Structure 1
Amino acid sequence: MNAKELKAILQALMEHEVSEMSLETPDYKLNIKRGSSLAQVQYVPAPVATPQITAPQPAVAVPAPQPAAVAAPAATSRPATAGREAEDKKEEIKGVEVKAPIVGTFYRSPAPDAEPYVKEGDSVKKGQVLCIIEAMKLMNEIESEVTGVVRKILVNDAEPVEYGQTLFIIEPA
């Protein structure tokens, strides 16, 4: 039930001087009593209270909920030392960086009990699957853009990754 529907119900009750009403659907249960200082809406499975309604005030539109203010995210979600260690290792190894094309969860293998697609030191061909990034319940295969050797895997299995984050360093053949 949206605010417009609730407003229409309240308006009809006031116009017809109905003092009490109950409405139950599979999604919610609504009990309204005029003259009482409480109106209650219960959603299945958990009850949820609504703003109090007193009679004979005219019905008012219920504003849509506003998103809460969110503080600016920190520069990195990893501890400062972990980020520096990854950068130091990335700088030591020369090669092509394979970056995350989307935000999601990084998986090294197609299933939890399966072998990883690639390991450090493995030779890979252009177009070969390196990993999966899960985003919104979709499994996106990330393929190698070059033929070469995997020199470094910079992300742990089941770790969240950001857009543009370096996942692998591949030394071209």
Structure 2
Amino acid sequence: MNVKELKSILQALQDHEVSELTLETPDYKLTVKRGPEVQYVQAPATPPQPAPQNPPSPAPEAAQPKPEPKEEAVRYLEVKAPIVGTFYRAPSPEAEPYVKEGDRVRKGQVLCIIEAMKLMNEIESEFDGVVRKILVNNAEPVEYGQVLFLIEPA
């Protein structure tokens, strides 16, 4: 089974709201379970607190934090792990990484490998852009859906 086949199975599970699937062949057994959807609840607003009558003055030697300059909001696209496994940045320990931060990537370009059940699965970019952040270290375990890369769209 390759990554594209696995992605299509996972998408079908999501589309049809299937919560569990087990696929068994002579070579491997794959079980996928989905938990309940996360629901976000907005906390009730609390009434404003009255200002103190005599606020304490800061000590002169205390450094006041400087406000961060407001950057233009940049929306990054996320590349997520399609499977559970071990993340590798390069095809072998002595090879150069597939990509580095700042590299321009094209749709379909290999970004990394995830090893799962002794199978090496190439993870490809789903869009063109620039790699802005690699969020996983080489040889670290990754979970399904974990964000691996942040890519600025081109």
Q: TM-score range by the shorter chain?
A: 0.5 to 0.7
Per the TM alignment, residue 108 of structure 1 is displaced from its structure 2 partner at its CA by 0.1
In the alignment, does 2:128 pair up with 1:153? no
Per the TM alignment, residue 93 of structure 1 is displaced from its structure 2 partner at its CA by 6.2
Q: 1:163 to 1:93 in 2, by over 3 A?
A: farther
Q: 1:93 to 1:112 in 2, by over 3 A?
A: farther
Instruction: Name 2:22's counterpart in structure 1.
Output: none
- Larger RCO of the pair (alpha carbons < 8 Å, separation 6+): 2
Mapping 1:7-156, distance limit 5 Å:
94-156=75-137
CA separation in 1, counterparts of 2:87 and 2:74?
21
Aligned length: 82
- What is the letter of the counterpart of residue 134 of structure 2? I
Q: 1:162 to 1:105 in 2, by over 3 A?
A: same
CA separation in 2, counterparts of 1:94 and 1:128?
21
Instruction: Give structure 2 stretches of 5+ with no counterpart.
Output: 1-72
**C-alpha RMSD of the superposition:** 1.2
Alpha-carbon deviations, 1:32-72, whole Å to 9, x = none?
xxxxxxxxxxxxxxxxxxxxxxxxxxxxxxxxxxxxxxxxx
SS in 2 for 1:111: coil
Greater CA radius of gyration, 1 or 2? 1
Instruction: Give structure 1 stretches of 5+ with no counterpart.
Output: 1-91
Instruction: Name 1:163's counterpart in structure 2.
Output: 144
1:106/1:131 contact within 8 Å kept: yes
Per the TM alignment, residue 172 of structure 1 is displaced from its structure 2 partner at its CA by 0.7
CA separation in 1, counterparts of 2:79 and 2:128?
12
CA separation in 1, counterparts of 2:75 and 2:92?
30
CA separation in 2, counterparts of 1:133 and 1:94?
25
CA separation in 2, counterparts of 1:157 and 1:93?
26
Runs of 4+ with deviation above 6 angstroms: none
CA separation in 1, counterparts of 2:94 and 2:107?
26
SS in 2 for 1:132: strand
CA separation in 2, counterparts of 1:161 and 1:138?
15
- TM-score, normalised relative to structure 1: 0.46
